Structure 1
């Protein structure tokens, strides 16, 4: 009980201390996001190999100052996340088996879990982030208008949009080494089932085995719409009157996997961010 009383006393001092030292700041910022999907945990060929892409990041925040050095802010931030990977890579066999006519559903058994092709793949996931940051700022001189700033804290993220843009440039293969063409393997499977070769060729000509068509797929139904993570930044600011201009560099990292189904592997969002902003005190 004594410990609880002490904690409450400390919190009371923080939030209701010297009124003359307390003031508020509201700000707006915008810049570039350099997101990447990091793979971790139970992975699959679908979740590995993503690299950074370029996106945007902008938001607003309100900050409460408790001392000349320490403040706390709450914000709303629109952050473009995701990643890209181009070249020879895996895709789910369902990209083809879903197109099989009912009479050929048994042919799906001839497919491995993943098929491979040379194509471009970009995952775009856009979030609304609500960060709560502890901020610290030190003037670069007693009377200097310049200040060094840093901040760190958690965020809650809400998925707004998720899509995957793909464009294939090569044939489909059944192996990662690119030695077993899907067309040849399926042709053999049909012939083994007693289908005449010319008829088997006609059947396979209806499937996109030489190159998958370009697609823009909504993957939000397969993605968790909520995330938690950590965010931090360092920066410099210039204050004139009640106005402040600032530049910040930092990043964010999601602690929860984004996929709903483990068969797609486990990726986490994250991005490096550089922003410029304006704030005013009141």
Structure 2
């Protein structure tokens, strides 16, 4: 993973040294609509996640090589993750293992509750950007490139109460009394800190006297499975991102 970060840094420095025109800086707050994609596993812990809107914010510098082409390194804070509602699997807690004969405990139990996994990432993308009509007041552009990311923190929060079942068909409850699922766990140590992937967006900008305002719609996708242990599931991160920003020339 370190080599990806080094490559991105080298590209950024090279872009800065070769920039013959102007350099522009932009700040763009936005909304991340993430998804935890199951990574080809039949592990029930990997499936069932739904998207939920979170915060996203970025600061980028655009180094222009010509009227149409530029390179854009970016620093981005992105909240990602997902949410499950209703019947879902969870590992057998240690205190419930004695309820089963030795060696006959199922891999997972099932219950109806709500769980939310929230992952805070610091992303470093480097994008190649192409402007379709750079000399006009309204500018349409596209950008794409790789990113490296670092996990700042990760939490899993559960809530609700439910009767627990040994199978997803709810054939026989383990206990007729519901159990509370109100809890919050720090799961950062169960996940890989570094990731890499691809990102891109389309944008519409409007030039004003001191710079430009713009709206961007795009997304990112991580290619590394985030869990260290496949027993905790196999997921990849990804998110749609909508940003509104202001860019000005240095």
Common topology (TM > 0.5): yes
Cα distance change on mapping 1:108 and 1:163 into 2, 3 Å: farther
Between the two proteins, the alignment pairs up a number of residues equal to 236
* Higher-Rg member (1/2): 1
For residues 28 and 100 of structure 2, the distance between their equivalents in structure 1, rounded to whole angstroms, comes to 56
The 8 Å contact of residues 253 and 271 in structure 1, kept in 2 or not, is answered as yes
Cα RMSD for the two superposed structures: 2.2
Cα distance change on mapping 1:251 and 1:55 into 2, 3 Å: same
Cα distance change on mapping 1:154 and 1:87 into 2, 3 Å: same
Q: Secondary structure at the match of 1:183?
A: coil
Question: What residue in structure 2 maps to residue 197 of structure 1?
Answer: none
Cα distance change on mapping 1:121 and 1:16 into 2, 3 Å: closer
Matches within 5 A, 1:111-190: 111-139=105-133, 144-183=136-175
The 8 Å contact of residues 164 and 219 in structure 1, kept in 2 or not, is answered as yes
For residues 68 and 17 of structure 2, the distance between their equivalents in structure 1, rounded to whole angstroms, comes to 15
For residues 216 and 106 of structure 1, the distance between their equivalents in structure 2, rounded to whole angstroms, comes to 27
Q: Secondary structure at the match of 2:189?
A: helix
* TM-score, normalised relative to structure 1: 0.78
* TM-score, normalised relative to structure 2: 0.88
Give the C-alpha shift of residue 75 in structure 1.
1.1
Question: Which of structure 1's runs of 4+ aligned residues deviate more than 6 A?
Answer: none
For residues 43 and 229 of structure 1, the distance between their equivalents in structure 2, rounded to whole angstroms, comes to 23
The 8 Å contact of residues 73 and 124 in structure 2, kept in 1 or not, is answered as yes
Query: Which sections of structure 2, spanning at least 5 residues, go unmatched?
Result: 1-13
> As a proportion of its length, which structure holds more strand?
2
Q: Secondary structure at the match of 2:46?
A: coil
Query: Which sections of structure 1, spanning at least 5 residues, go unmatched?
Result: 1-11, 185-208
